[in-house]
Structure 1
Amino acid sequence: MTIVSSHEYPATRDRPRPWDGGRDAAVDLVRGIAVIFMVIAHVRVWAPTPPAPGKAALLVINNVASPLFALIMGVSAGIVLTRARRPVTGTTFMLRNLVRGVALIAIGVGLEQLDTFVAIVLQSLGATLIVAAPLALLPARVVAVVAVLAFVTGPVVNAAARAGFDPARVYSEAWIDQVLQWIVLSTHYRVVSLLPFVLIGVVLARWGLTRRVAAGSFVVGLVAGVAVVGLWLTGTGIGRSEVVSGDLADSLLDLALTGCAFGAIVLLARWPRASSAITAMAPVRAVGALALTSYVLHVVLIAVVTRTVDWQSRAESWPLLAGGVLVGTVLACWMWWRLVGRGPVERLMAIPTDRIV
């Protein structure tokens, strides 16, 4: 099983891709922002309730973090398929992503043993990667159609699962129930909801992630935003009625925020006049290059704080604690990236996967 010939999508093989010469700064920047948004969404629980503008900003940060990360995970898979040097396709591609998916699940389960308040996303991301890998090998237009179908049917599947399963299974620690949570029952992250974004990311990379492609992502986000406003005007959207994670209103908001954020960041990174700004954002790009390491690190730091500082002290010292976790994660990743290169967790992940040929 191999990917389609290059003439079937816009970015042809005779055109260089941004990642042909090494790491793509735009991809690292998007991934870094997604992880930083995750960190902010987690450490904000120590802060008092902010005024309305702050609530709106936190809503955006919280909603865009996981779908943006899922999108860029799909882009990474597409880069592996299309890179000029040592592309990975067919059975090797599927096996490597199977191993990566299982490893993400294992790391996520391990982080849950730290017993923090953080809802770990890695299990759902790992399961999504396993499901998405064989689909990513289909012709690019077919992948795009599957992504649209997955997005449209996702809210229906989520609603059917909520209605069909015992609500107690949403929080059950039984293994079969945890797997169901990763796939469809979780109140936070689900394969059903993340899969469209991973597949969209694959398509964007297969199309070369050009400025035109990034602009298209931004336009799709704007259209989804109009739909969100339309639901609000009819009294059924966010702020007007009860919204459940994974329903239509929530999914449209995720698409709106993710499409606009991804498009804007990539357009900025591709703009020649912004090169100095992109260079100055090296710490953020470092978090993106060490995404898994940075995710693990910030959860560990949160676990240390929760075990060493009582709740009242956390509330009183939240700027220091929250800022410390965020800044400590960014600086640690930046220094490691500059001095060592690939992150320690990424190196461990590469040991089994890179040997699959």
Structure 2
Amino acid sequence: MTRIVGIDIARGLAVLGMYGAHVGVTEPLVFTEPATWLDVVNGRSSILFALLAGVSIAIISGRTRPVDGTELRAARIRILVRAALIFAIGMLLIWLDTRIAVILPVYAVLFVAAIPVLRWRPRSLFVAAGILAIVSPILAAITTVLVPVADPVVDLLLTGHYPAVIWIVFVLVGLGVGRLDVTARVVQLRLLAVGAGLAVAGYGLGVAANRAVLESTAPVPVDIGMLATTEPHSGSPFEVVGSTGFALAVLALCLLVATRARIPLYPIAAVGSMALSAYTAHVVIVAIIGDGAFTQNDNGLYLAFIGGALVLCTGWALLFGRGPLERVLTWASNLAARTTRRART
């Protein structure tokens, strides 16, 4: 299947952005101060990564025409096997005990959670995502109050750094987007317009809600106050809506420029084409460096990560094509699907 370069570019930006979120030196974002703009990587990079997971699921299961019958069963097997391997890789990275909040276990759970809705129409997926964008943050906030004791399952699903009940919103949106003809210019422009609108609405209303809470003379519980913010990883409805819009706008821009700047953007697309390998490698390198990776006074280490990823991924892509971990996922998932198909036959 022909790769969509714009999606690879967006995925590459997401990975490079997560490098910055983990080892970059940033200041709180103020839109009128360019020196603070690097802070955009915090929270939003991982959300773009999750939204693109939904796009990948759509590609695996037929793109604009969802598969059915035998092919649908094969797609489900592929997704399940990929999820299992990604979960295993994620747990190994967590075992390295870095300060990085590893996204891969939740990423795997979201892959599995998307299986029941593989044949939903884009409109149904977007409506479901919209409802969950409002309901899920409230549910997570209530759970945080009712379950104060740390529990691995509850943490993974509801109260962790990447609560699956909230992050499924981004996957559903991505799956809906993947069901559209994203190679069509009119679709790309609509995604850009919708994304920009959601970003302005989500962040704008969030800022207004936060100001109202701060100016209120009535006592406001901390957990309720966190629902009226746009802070990264707050999981508030405003952050979910605003960051979804941001991710959509970035994806749309990447799709729009891909055909006209394919060669100069090839290194970023190369990183995106092997996002799992690039992400895993950076966590391993951070584990080797130790706590010093998080005590930098400047962005030298971050720039080194960016440069290294661009050079190494470009070289690998030119020489070998698909990334090393991506090869394993593709081989294992295709093998499982073929074996299951033969067994049923």
TM-score (norm 2): 0.83
How many angstroms does 1:93 deviate by? Answer: 1.5
Alpha-carbon contact 1:219-1:260 (below 8 Å) kept: yes
Paired AA for residue 245 in structure 2: A
1:183/1:35 CA distance change after superposition, 3 Å:
same
What SS is found at the alignment partner of 1:279? Answer: coil
Aligned to 2:201: 226
How many angstroms does 1:30 deviate by? Answer: 0.9
What SS is found at the alignment partner of 1:59? Answer: helix
RMSD (Å) for aligned C-alpha atoms: 2.8
Q: Unpaired segments of 5 or more residues in structure 1?
A: 1-19, 170-176
Whole-angstrom distance in 2 between the partners of 1:221 and 1:185: 27
1:182 aligns with 2:135: no
1:151 aligns with 2:149: no
Mapping 1:239-254, distance limit 5 Å: 242=226, 243=229, 245-254=234-243
Aligned to 2:311: 331
What SS is found at the alignment partner of 1:303? Answer: helix
Whole-angstrom distance in 2 between the partners of 1:79 and 1:348: 18
Whole-angstrom distance in 2 between the partners of 1:55 and 1:178: 38
How many angstroms does 1:158 deviate by? Answer: 1.4
1:75/1:237 CA distance change after superposition, 3 Å:
farther
> What is the percent sequence identity of the aligned residues?
27
Alpha-carbon contact 1:29-1:265 (below 8 Å) kept: yes
Any idea what the Cα deviations from partners look like across 1:163-216, whole Å, max 9, x if unmatched? 2211x31xxxxxxx2232221111x21212221211111211212112222222
Mapping 1:93-108, distance limit 5 Å: 93-108=75-90
Name whichever of 146-155 and 332-341 sits farther off. 146-155
Mapping 1:281-300, distance limit 5 Å: 281-300=265-284
Mapping 1:22-37, distance limit 5 Å: 22-37=2-17
Mapping 1:1-357, distance limit 5 Å: 22-44=2-24, 47=25, 53=33, 56-82=36-62, 89-166=71-148, 168-169=149-150, 177-186=151-160, 188-209=161-182, 210-224=184-198, 225-236=200-211, 242=226, 243=229, 245-270=234-259, 275=260, 277-306=261-290, 315=296, 318-355=298-335, 356-357=337-338
Name whichever of 77-86 and 280-289 sits farther off. 77-86
Paired AA for residue 107 in structure 2: L
Aligned to 1:13: none
Q: Unpaired segments of 5 or more residues in structure 2?
A: 216-224, 339-345
Whole-angstrom distance in 1 between the partners of 2:318 and 2:153: 38
What SS is found at the alignment partner of 1:298? Answer: helix
Runs of 4+ in 1 over 6 A off after TM superposition: 84-88, 237-241
Any idea what the Cα deviations from partners look like across 1:22-65, whole Å, max 9, x if unmatched? 11111111111111111111111xx3758953674233211221
Alpha-carbon contact 1:36-1:326 (below 8 Å) kept: yes
Whole-angstrom distance in 1 between the partners of 2:64 and 2:181: 12
Whole-angstrom distance in 1 between the partners of 2:213 and 2:327: 41
Whole-angstrom distance in 2 between the partners of 1:85 and 1:248: 31
Paired AA for residue 143 in structure 1: L
How many angstroms does 1:337 deviate by? Answer: 0.8
1:36/1:310 CA distance change after superposition, 3 Å:
closer
How many angstroms does 1:259 deviate by? Answer: 2.3
1:221/1:134 CA distance change after superposition, 3 Å:
same
Whole-angstrom distance in 1 between the partners of 2:202 and 2:27: 29
What SS is found at the alignment partner of 2:321? Answer: coil
